[in-house]
Amino acid sequence: MAPSECKPLRIPTKAKRHSTRLAQACKNRLPSPPSEGQPATQKRKRQERHDEDLESGLKRTHKLQRVHDTPTLSGSSTANTLSYGSPVHWEDYFEQWPPNRDMDESMTKKRNRTPSHTPSSSYSKSVRDGEAPAAWTRQHEEKMQEAGLFMTDYQNRASITDDCKKLCDELHEKNYDDPTGSLFKPQRLAKILERVRFRNEARVVRDIMPVLVPSPELLHIDGVASLKDICEALNAEWTQCNTLCGPRPKPDFVAGVAGSAFTNEEREKLQLSHTSSSPNSFPENMYYPFLICEAKGSDKPVDAAERQAMHSASIAVLAQIQLYRKFSAAEELDGKVLVFSIAHDASMIKVFGHFAKIEGDKLTFFRHQLYLSDIATDLRSEASSRAYNITRAIYDVFFPQHLARIRSALSKLRGSTVASFTSQLDLVDGSQESTVSKSLQEDARFKKPSLSSTAMLQQENERLRDQLLEMVRNQQTEAISQRQEQDKQRVVMEQQLAQQKEQTEQQLVQQMEQMERQLAQQKDQMERQLAQQKDQMERQLAQQKEQMAQQLAQQKEHMGQQLAHQCELIALLKESKSK
C-alpha cells in the first residue's frame, strides 16, 4: 500500500472520550425493570444495589479520565503518543485499573482511624444492656477486685514499706498554723454543714472541699513559694489514658506535677513516651497526679467516692510503674505509697495512701488508710484543722519526693532519636531527587516504563520501612546490650551482697563466740568468788561456833559454881535453923 493511502489514526477528544465512557458505564449499569410479583423489600434492595454499582462505575470512569490525562516524562499526554507506532495498552505498563474494591475499603479503614465508640460510651452501653453493673456501686466493687483493685484495709496480701509507714506518721503528725480567713471560722463551718447536709455534690465541692483540701495554686499565690511546681484540675476527664475498670476518671479535684518542674529535655521525653497504656500526661497540662479528691452529696454514700478515688489513684500508680518499667526498675516501687486520695461528703472524710504489689507482670493495687474522722466532731475539738494539715503535709513533704522520683526515672531514659531519623530521611529524599533529575535529563522519547508509579512508591516505602526496621533493630540490640550489662552488674552486685552477707554472718558468729567465751569466763570468776565467799563464811561460822561453845562452857561452869555455893548456903541455913 502506498504511503499516501495510509489513513491517519483518529484520536477522540477528552470530552468525547469521557462522554462515551460515561454512556457505556450507565448503559451497562442501568437496573432492569422490576417484575410485578416481587416484594417491595426485594425491589428496594435491588434498586439500592444497582445505584451503588452505578455510582462505583461513574467513579471508575473519572479515575480513568484522570489517568489518561496524566502527562508523561516528555511533557505530552498519553493520548498524543497513540499516533506513533502500535497501539498502547494499559495492562502492558501498569497494574490493574481500577483497583480492587476490597483494597479501597481497606484504605478507607486505614484512613479512618477514629474509633466509633469511646471506652466510656462502650461501658455505658454495657451498663444499659445489663452486661456490667452501674459505676461505683457495691456490685461494681466486685468487678474492681476482679481487675486487681482491692479496697479492704484488713487484707494481709500486701503492706506498705517501713519508710512509707514513717512517712504516713509524719504526714499525720505535721502541724501548721491555723488557717486564717472567714472560710475557716468554726461557727461559719458549722452553719455550712447544717445547710449542705441535704444538698447535692456541687454544693459539697464548693463549700466544704476548700476547707478540707486547700488549693495548692492559691496557696502559692498567697506566698507559699515551695508549691510553684504543683498544678491542679477540677472535674476534668482523663481522656489520655486507658481505664482499669469502669468509665474514664473525672475527679472533682486532682493535683499533679506542673510542666514548669521539668527541663526541655525531660518534657520531650515525656511527650515521646506517652501512650494510653503508659500515660504520663493528664488534663490541664498535668503530669503524674499525686493527690485525688472525690466528694459526694447527700443522695450518694461516701463509699462511691472511695471507689472513684481508688480507680483514679490506681491509674496514677500504674503510670509511675510503667515509667519505671521502661528501664526495668519497677520492683523499686513495690509496696511504696505513690498517690494519696481523699473521699468525703458533708459529714465524713477519709484519707488513703495507694500502692501496688508487683509480681513480675502482675499488678495488684491496694490502699492504706491514713486518716478517718467525722467533720462535725472535729469542729468541736482541737483537731478541727487536721485534714487541712494532712493535705498541706502532702504538698510540703510528699510532693518533693514524688517529683524527685519522676525526675530520677527520666534521667535514666534514653534521649529521642528524632534528629538522626530526620537526617536519614533528608538523605533519602536527596537520593530520590537525584534519580528523578537524572531520569528527566534522559531522552525525552516515549519509552516503555519498567515499573508503574505506584510500584515505585511501594519500593520507596519498602526502602524507608527497611531503614526504620534497621534503626529499630539497632535500638533493640543496644537495649539488649544495655540490659545484659545491667544484668551483669546486677549479678556482680548480688555476688558482692552475698559476700557481704557471708562476711557479716562470719563476724556475727565470731562475735557470738567471743561473747560466749566472755560469759564463760565471767561465770568461772563468779563461781570462784562464790566458793571463796562460801569458805570464808564457813570459817567464820566455825569460829563463831567455837567461841559460843566456849562461852557456854564458861557460863555452865560459872552457873555450877553458883549452884554449889547456893547449896552450901542452904545447907548452912538448914543447920542453923535446926540448932
State the cell numbers at 262.
Answer: 521539668
The string of DSSP codes covering 130-168 is TSSPPTTSHHHHHHHHHTTB---SS--S----HHHHHHH
pLDDT in tens, the chain (579 residues): 444 444 444 545 555 555 565 555 555 444 444 444 444 455 555 555 655 555 555 555 444 444 444 444 333 443 444 444 455 555 555 555 555 544 444 444 444 444 444 555 566 666 666 666 887 788 888 889 999 999 886 566 788 999 999 999 999 988 888 777 767 777 788 888 888 888 888 999 998 899 899 999 999 999 999 999 999 999 999 998 999 988 899 999 999 999 999 999 999 899 888 888 889 999 888 999 999 999 999 888 899 999 999 999 999 999 999 999 998 899 999 999 999 999 999 889 999 999 999 998 899 999 999 999 888 777 777 677 888 999 999 999 999 999 999 999 999 887 543 443 444 444 444 444 444 444 444 444 434 445 566 777 777 787 888 888 888 888 888 888 888 888 889 899 999 999 999 999 999 999 999 999 999 999 999 999 999 999 999 999 999 999 999 999 999 989 988 998 989 888 888 888 887
Q: Are 196 and 204 in contact (CB under 8 A)?
A: yes
How far CA 29 is from CA of 42, 240, 462, in Å, comes to: 18, 48, 38
User: What DSSP line would sit under 371-400, residue for residue?
Assistant: EEEEHHHHHTSTTTTHHHHHHHHIIIIIHH
Q: Is 515 helix (H, G, I), strand (E, B) or coil?
A: helix
What is the distance between the alpha carbons of residues 210 and 216, in angstroms, rounded to a whole number?
11
pLDDT of residue 179: 78
Q: Name the residue range of residue 400's domain.
A: 133-412
Q: Mind listing the pLDDT tens digit for each residue in 234-292?
A: 999 999 899 998 889 999 999 999 999 999 999 989 988 888 888 999 988 899 999 99
pLDDT of res. 446: 39
324 located within any domain: yes
Tell me if 351 is assigned to some domain.
yes
Query: How many Cα atoms sit within 13 Å of 457 on the Cβ side?
Result: 3
**Residue 184 has what pLDDT?**
74
- Asked if residue 267 belongs to a domain, the reply is yes
So what's the pLDDT on residue 325?
A: 92
User: Number of structural domains, the chain?
Assistant: 1
Q: Which residues of 351-385 are buried (b: 16+ CB within 10 A; e: fewer)?
A: bbbbbbbbeeeebbbbbbebbebebeebeeeeebb
Q: Enter the DSSP assignment of 247.
A: S
For residue 370, tell me if it sits in a domain: yes
In this structure, the dihedral spanned by the alpha carbons of residues 569, 574, 575 and 579, taken in order and rounded to 10 degrees, is 140
Q: Left, alpha or beta for 296 (phi > 0: left; psi -120 to 50: alpha)? A: beta
What local confidence, expressed as pLDDT, does residue 194 receive?
A: 86
Measured CA distances, 346 to 187, 293, 455 (Å) = 16, 14, 69
Q: What nine digits make up the cell of 489?
A: 552488674
pLDDT at 444: 41
- Residue 96 confidence (pLDDT): 52
Q: For position 479, what pLDDT does the model report?
A: 86
CB distance 354 to 313 below 8 Å: yes
- Nearest partner of 260 among 236, 231, 240, judged by Cα: 231
What pLDDT is attached to residue 415? 55
Helices (H) and strands (E) in the chain, counts: 19, 7
Torsion of CA 510, 516, 522, 527, to 10 degrees: -150
Specify if 434 maps to a domain: no
Q: Is residue 377 part of a domain?
A: yes
Query: pLDDT value at position 544?
Result: 92
Task: Cell 513559694: give the residue.
Answer: 225
Task: Please check whether residue 87 lies inside any domain of the structure.
Answer: no
CA atoms of 20 and 14, how far apart (whole Å): 10
Determine the length of the chain.
579
3-state secondary structure of 7: coil
* Residues in Cβ contact with 29 at an 8 Å cutoff, skipping those fewer than 6 apart: 50, 53, 54, 57
Please report whether residue 10 resides in a domain: no
pLDDT at 217: 94
